[in-house]
Chains A and B, each alone.
Chain A
């Protein structure tokens, strides 16, 4: 199974400041077709996960442009340019290149 490792596991950020979360996979997530199957989800308190980013860097419909994704191969990063109060929750990365689908441990973002 592909192991997904997120750092940090918790993050406390002042509103308006940036935040960054790293996700590393134990194997490359690059497909032969050139796409890379790395996705980011946000699980707000008491809610189900919601898709933020797919294929490393494409924002899902309705996701604010303060969220951005980058990376390649096995190393990926989610950045929030200016954290807002509504961004609190647990951020999960997930790989989609092989079964079983696997997730990172989750990064809990709180507001200072």
Chain B
């Protein structure tokens, strides 16, 4: 059974903290993605990676960075968390064009 695993389901952090969200996939997929989900706004792409150490900005990269040192792991970093980054974060992976994207369960982050 294919799997995308996000390290935390729920996370509460303080304003200004550096936050790491971790995602691991076991399908040997080249492409990994971080989305943010907010009510009424759908899924918005933050960053994606098409190979190890390769990354590309999505639609809303401000305030975020990413790291991909190994093929199976893609990390999202909030350099200095702010309350407007309170959201559901979803990690996904896919092998290439025209293929299914598999999502993790999501991490609900609250910044207080």
User: Is this pair of chains taken from one and the same complex?
Assistant: no
Residues of A whose CB lies within 8 Å of any CB of B are none
